[in-house]
Chain A
């Protein structure tokens, strides 16, 4: 279960991922989902819209009608990362249809749409293209084959005289739409192992094809969760305890009930909701709604800027300095090897809590019709959302229908479904169909934050100044207990008594004290560089602020920590940061290759404009390899990032343009964190509230970005997250080059 228990192999990331999966399995939160591929069996319980006699519906993902309309039911959530186009491109390739001809539909919740790697209908972990790359294409190839077989039968021709071209059967010099043969094809048994196209024969994969959602998103016609509308829909605003986890002790709605538009005031599990005709009416009532709160135990005592011992950053520091740690990973003699080091270079790093700040605030629409419940939301986890809705709505799981929309940003925030639980509770308590809208303030103050983290490195060098041992210890909260806590309600069989569910749910916290380490707490701190000895230790310290999956997860802080430390080590030995890194990347050739290419493209070591300095960082995550070189100047304490050169090896790039965009996106997301991002806490309440005190990088602050994709025949790997982890390190290292100041805390502050 811990990373330690796994034997070492060359591909350590695969190990981490499998370790995470086995952990989830052991925790019993992986449902009975699919392990490999998508089944090709029909599924009677999946309802296809527009179904017509003569349709070919080989599975829950694809439908070809007799009119030759081709529908693809998108199993992953589109949140900007490009699966809407990417998965469709893969399907189109083997179906031999232009991607633009395929009509893509967002799907509700159903086990047929489970992520093949997680067994849950989850979009996250940058795995969508990778895990669907073979199964989706295989399914499409089989379907194309069965249509050819049907055409051979109908046209009385041998199969080898039946070819295809862009959704048409080509035979005898004629072109006939696939739809002409779907009725016959539907009665043939689907072949299973049709050969897939070779890379040289690809028509769509690896080529530039337009984003299929760009027209809708450029004309205001794409539907997001917040855009849901129907007759009788009311709007709700929710007043929550300033401290997360607080509950309602009592409330007085006498000043609220008579206000314009107000239809109901209801108390739910975490606050008091006002239901009104319009959102602005509901929201306007909250300041005069009087609620007394029952505060949660631990978080209320926490202030992140406090200098008292046992509080604020001191809490993390004390944990780091304690002897209470769990070993997460050991190679060679681990920390013991420090005793024989010629030199030891140390560094202590800090990264704060961060909010996701998706542009579309959290929201969910819920409507009861008798015992049936419908919800509308854009989320990364519709299966869990459905089960949470059933739990909070007190209806059978089969009586919940999920309508999925586009997501106005995800970045891991919409893996959690807290807003679904709230909307369903409000609809149930008030009797109205409601759309719960979070204000920006709600969204900033009630997140599952990127966990604050502190880490100390001790790097032992041999007499030649090369790394002999790499030792790191991290303190901070773990993500998985919060995830378990949320999904336990949803996933536990209904017959378990509540007390039992509570016990299992809370047990998650204890699990990390003493006998295992959450892989997301230490990932990225130690894997990339060669060293004879390694040790990774962990101390859990958790003030109680909810934490969750934030774009690139543990790598979001470990990339900065590790790459700043590596720079410190190289510089302590008066060695060039690129050369020194390359010396220690002999077992990591793909990462080394991105570094060599980036140094060449950015002109590393060559003269830069007056006052400009380069900083470099490398990081492998989600099975992809990235180097970034930042060109930075510092004037009067102002940090300006002029240019970022980014080289990525993600295997085969299915949609190169989207891959480039995802690198740009990760870089700008990471730059916001490096320059501005910080969530602080006062007496348990989050201090920041909106974009004035939680700023997001704007166009005028954004650098030029050049992205180079390494040509590769390897299978595709992640792109949504891997662009983020190196950027803070690259900028920090450039700041050091410019000023001689080593900034070991995020966000960067020079004064």
Chain B
């Protein structure tokens, strides 16, 4: 059994230690916001924050995240309560097909948590690990700048919610999950 914090909740998972974190979250915990794109850590669709760092979870063994803090797109906000970046994404009409956008927002969150006034080149460096086949890059850049401005003005937060599902019946601290 491997235990870690997922969006503020402790979860215990029965899965082989070398199982990629992505599949534990998607199939064992059935949280589908984080996507599968390449399986080689090349495209960023599977990005989650591990202790605040944007990480490719399709190649991250679940045993390596024991006792660490994981944040997925669901942990940043939900349709009723979005984070500043998610709001900026909607305002700038960023998503096209939308499939890569969870990963884009996770990487942007990691960037703004370190730097609330990123230059174009800071943004390029932080976001170049996330491929978008629809080519939403111009609007991704615009949304990041808008969100950064909101944060600098004290009008925003990178995480709008602490717990993925406020209606979950499991106790907020521990959720047992079987494989």
Contacts and interface: CB of A to CB of B under 8 A. Distances in A.
Contacts of B139: 661, 664
Interface residues of B, number: 61
Given A219-B78, A700-B128, A81 B96 contact: yes
A585 interface: no
A68 B96 CA distance: 29
A82 B97 CA distance: 8
Interface in B10-51: 16, 19-20, 23, 27-28, 30, 32-40, 42-43, 45
A260 interface: yes
A409 B97 contact: yes
B138 A702 contact: yes
B156 to A, nearest CB: 14
A296 interface: no
Contacts of A682: none
B119 to A, nearest CB: 12
Contacts of B100: 359
B98 A698 contact: no
B32 A359 contact: no
B135 A437 contact: no
B4 interface: no
B127 interface: yes
Contacts of A279: 23, 27
B179 interface: yes
Contacts of B141: 699
A437 B36 contact: yes
B177 interface: no
B81 to A, nearest CB: 9
A408 B97 contact: yes
Interface string A277-300: 111100000000000000000000
A226 B36 contact: yes
Contact of B90 (A210, A222, A704): A210
Nearest to A704: B138
Contacts of B124: 699-700
Contact of A220 (B20, B33, B42, B123): B33
B82 A664 contact: no
Nearest to A671: B135
Interface stretch (A107-115, A515-523, A603-611, A689-697): A689-697
A217 B128 CA distance: 20
B52 to A, nearest CB: 18
Contact of A699 (B37, B38, B123): B123
A211 interface: yes
A229 B93 contact: no
Given A226-B35, A279-B27, A699-B124, 4 more contacts: A359-B97, A408-B98, A440-B39, A698-B131
Interface of B: 16, 19-20, 23, 27-28, 30, 32-40, 42-43, 45, 72-74, 76-79, 82, 86, 89-91, 93-102, 105, 123-125, 127-141, 179
15 contacts: A219-B74, A220-B33, A229-B30, A229-B32, A260-B16, A280-B20, A359-B45, A360-B37, A409-B134, A661-B139, A690-B40, A691-B42, A692-B40, A696-B133, A705-B138
